[in-house]
Amino acid sequence: MKALALTALFCSCLGAQNLAFYLDPSGGASPVSALTSLPAAYGFPDTPVGSVSSSVIRVVNTGPASVVVDAVYVGAEAGSAYRTPNFTLTGSTLGATIAPGAFKLMTFNFTPSTTGITFGYLQASVAGVSIPMTTAAGNGTAPQITLSCSSSGIVQCTGATLQPNSANSLTFPNTLTTGTTQVPFTLTNSSASAINPQTLVSLTVPTNNPNSPFSLSSLPSTLAAGSSLTFNVTFAPSTANTYQTNLLVGNATYPLMGSGSSSVLGDISSLVITYVDSTGVRLTAQAATPISLGQSVVGASGSNSFTFSITNPQTTISAVSVAALSVSGTGFAISQAPSLPFSVAPGTSTTFTVTFNATATGTFSGLLTVGTRVFALTGQGINSPVPNPSFSIDVQPLVSQKQAHLSVNFPTATTVSAIGTLTMKFAPTVANVSDDPAVVFTATNGRQLQIDVANGATVGKYSGQTALTFQTGTTAGTLTFTLTFPNKAPYSQSFTITPAQVQVTSMNAVRQDPNLVITMTGYDNTYSLGQLGFLFYDTSGKAMTANPLNVDAASAFKQLFFTNNQAGGAFSLRASFPVTGKVADIGSVAFTLTNSAGTTSQTPAFQ
């Protein structure tokens, strides 16, 4: 038994001997060979009272076996476990097991509470054996920027200057989830120049969770030399958990801690409100921190949408009735909410959706009310990085039967590359006509193109082309082009194709004894063509009848335009006139085509 104890002691001493200490300004990044050993006597730079100077210490296990470091601490005297308030350690200071070749980092802080030189004895405890690491000395100078607090609920808040970088947190009293605890802090500027509290004072925020039950009151942008100001730290926990954060004043850190409490019987305080953010992460809503619904591009279709859950924990005894559930604030809305009042049984949840859709640029604020609990909402309205486009067409005014070219232009260079969708819609103005199948982009034979905009470009392209060819069809109406980019308000521009007289695109008049045959192609973009007139001339140019021969072809054209229409207002016409005399004596024909927009005439000679 005695032999076993001796062996254990021997091993412990060996473990302690295998620890090496280094100053590590790299924070663990540099190899040991690049570090300086922690000297037996280490001097901190002069440090104002209420401020802090820090050095990172690397504790390395150089032996073949793991070493358990029970504690690292700073004693007020050599070999003493009585800890001095002028020096603190933060980081892995307790119960650290260091594997062979591994190391632990800790921060050694000089936090003078008074002016003058003070000493601290940095020691490690391994298996109950105290190992001296270094004797530190620091000179406390006149205070520069100090912090104090006054609260009967926090032990340290006595009004005296707080020591930063303390291992002991400022612990707020337990607070109900429906309540808040507010602690006033006093910031004193004892330096010779003004400071900016807004940049100097902050609360640490985890990168993976912006919601904290701690919040700061507003701070002025200037604190004159020799002046003080008071601000509040509010603790408003939304769940019955323990929370920690750090209050930062310059490089001085003041750990804060607080615990929430709720009713286990079941009331509004029992409920836990969570939501899934835009990245899919579920976060707990905190009354102290506005819930950011992110950025919304002004005018863009769709909105930022978060799904909220109201959960009554399994540990609650009774169901909780919720009498109010609402959202207020411009741009914010609630949907898919349960009917009021509703009840949430223990172990169950109910969900609803909160959306944000910015109507203008700037910051928007709103409120989410769940029973008597209120959560702040915030959102940003921004403009798209893609400037507002415009369209230009090389045929103005736009008319039927054209292959025109559309260009997509931006007044300034885009600052991002983007892909948009250009669509074309056609609304005929002809009654009972719904479309014209010839109205298409020729590149796709459709009404949609994908538009690429390169970073820095001022034009949009489709397949490398800036002039986008489209057909205007043969129907009067309105062509509307719409360009849509993600997260940007769609841009539309319309072009009108006005009703026009019948247009003849080709014609031919031939003598096919004993017939005269007139053929033509053309279009009537009003779909109202019906009256045809033919006046024949002899070869000397003399009219052969006093009046034209009128033909009512309305029925035939109506059949063409309105029954199984294949080509809009386009038509081909073949008129054959049997002649009993000499067809060679007939030289030409003047024909007229009349629609609702007027009369068109042509006079082809017979071939």
* Residues forming the site for another protein (CB under 8 A): 400-403, 423, 425, 431-438, 440-448, 469, 471-474, 505-506, 521-523, 527, 532, 534, 536, 538, 544-545, 549, 551, 553, 556-563, 565-568, 570-582, 585-586
What is the nearest approach in angstroms of another protein to the Cβ of residue 418?
A: 21
3-state secondary structure of 278: coil
How buried is residue 563: exposed, middle or buried, by Cβ count under 10 Å (0-12/13-18/19+)? exposed
What is the nearest approach in angstroms of another protein to the Cβ of residue 458?
A: 25
What is the nearest approach in angstroms of another protein to the Cβ of residue 451?
A: 15
Task: Give the closest residue to 438 by CA, choosing from 461, 484, 404.
Answer: 404
How buried is residue 288: exposed, middle or buried, by Cβ count under 10 Å (0-12/13-18/19+)? buried
Strands (E), 539-597: 549-552, 570-578, 586-595
What is the nearest approach in angstroms of another protein to the Cβ of residue 300?
A: 22
Q: Which is nearer to another protein, 579 or 597 (CB)?
A: 579
DSSP 318: S
Q: Which is nearer to another protein, 288 or 529 (CB)?
A: 529
What is the nearest approach in angstroms of another protein to the Cβ of residue 434?
A: 5
What is the nearest approach in angstroms of another protein to the Cβ of residue 600?
A: 15
What is the nearest approach in angstroms of another protein to the Cβ of residue 599?
A: 17
What is the nearest approach in angstroms of another protein to the Cβ of residue 505?
A: 5
Contact 216, 200 (CB under 8 A): no
Q: Which is nearer to another protein, 83 or 447 (CB)?
A: 447
Q: Which is nearer to another protein, 293 or 570 (CB)?
A: 570
Measured between alpha carbons, how far is residue 164 from residues 89, 205, 225 in Å?
A: 11, 18, 21
Measured between alpha carbons, how far is residue 96 from residues 26, 102, 103, 259 in Å?
A: 21, 11, 10, 26
Measured between alpha carbons, how far is residue 51 from residues 193, 233, 446 in Å?
A: 16, 20, 71
Q: Please report where in the chains the tokens 């050095």 appear, as a residue.
A: 55
Edge to edge, what strands does the sheet with 531-538 contain?
549-552, 531-538, 586-595, 598-602
**CA–CA separation, 294 and 305 (whole Å):** 9
Q: Which is nearer to another protein, 288 or 516 (CB)?
A: 516
For the record, the structure tokens of 206 come out as 């985890």
Q: Which is nearer to another protein, 30 or 434 (CB)?
A: 434
Q: Please report where in the chains the tokens 């100090």 appear, as a residue.
A: 146
- Residue 5 C-alpha from the chain's centroid: 64
Q: Which is nearer to another protein, 364 or 557 (CB)?
A: 557
DSSP 543: B
Q: Which is nearer to another protein, 434 or 599 (CB)?
A: 434
Q: Which is nearer to another protein, 86 or 475 (CB)?
A: 475
Q: Which is nearer to another protein, 368 or 560 (CB)?
A: 560
DSSP 454: -
What is the nearest approach in angstroms of another protein to the Cβ of residue 461?
A: 15
DSSP 337: P
Strands 252-261, 175-176: pairing is parallel
Contact 586, 537 (CB under 8 A): yes
Q: Which is nearer to another protein, 5 or 431 (CB)?
A: 431
Dihedral (Cα; 86, 91, 94, 96), 10-degree rounding: -140
What is the nearest approach in angstroms of another protein to the Cβ of residue 603?
A: 16
What is the nearest approach in angstroms of another protein to the Cβ of residue 436?
A: 7
For the chain, how many residues are written? Answer: 607
